Amino acid sequence: MAQKHGQKKSGMKPLGHKHDDHEYIVARQERYIKAWESGTPEEIMEFMDPQELNYSNHGMEKEGLSHSDVKYLFAKNRTYLYDLDMKTETLHGHKHFTAWEWTVTCKAAFGPNGEALKKEEATPTMMKGCTLMWWNDNDKIIRNH
């Protein structure tokens, strides 16, 4: 698809100023996405600092979750999804802070009345959002919004 004049292409390429850490944060984010798509909470949790983590997901009305709370939430939520696909719209920041705009598509394993759905019966859903992440020197997330 051709780009319109002046339109910027989305994705892992920086829009505007390119920080010196850009390639570093892109590689880290790609590893983080693969962990999410694996469906294994342990792989996702490898990115979370076990002592300092303060995790919030305002869309789910969850704020200030600890490491163990987040692991439980991820385990629960990943079992309810089919075909999780995460795409980066933009990624900005540096080694210790990133703003990640994303699009997620998936299918819910349960219908509106709580009935179990087979993968073929589930309707695809698309969500868009932006996650702010603060990282420590060990590439662990210490704060997430």
pLDDT tens, position by position, 28-57: 999 999 998 888 889 999 999 999 999 998
Bigger pLDDT: 60 vs 92: 92
- Residue 122 CB partners (closer than 8 Å, separation 6+): 82, 107, 108, 109
The first and second tokens of residue 19, run together, are: 């920080």
Q: What is the mean pLDDT of residues 128-143?
A: 97
Bigger pLDDT: 36 vs 126: 126
Neighbours of 128 (CB within 10 A): 10
Q: What is the mean pLDDT of residues 54-76?
A: 90
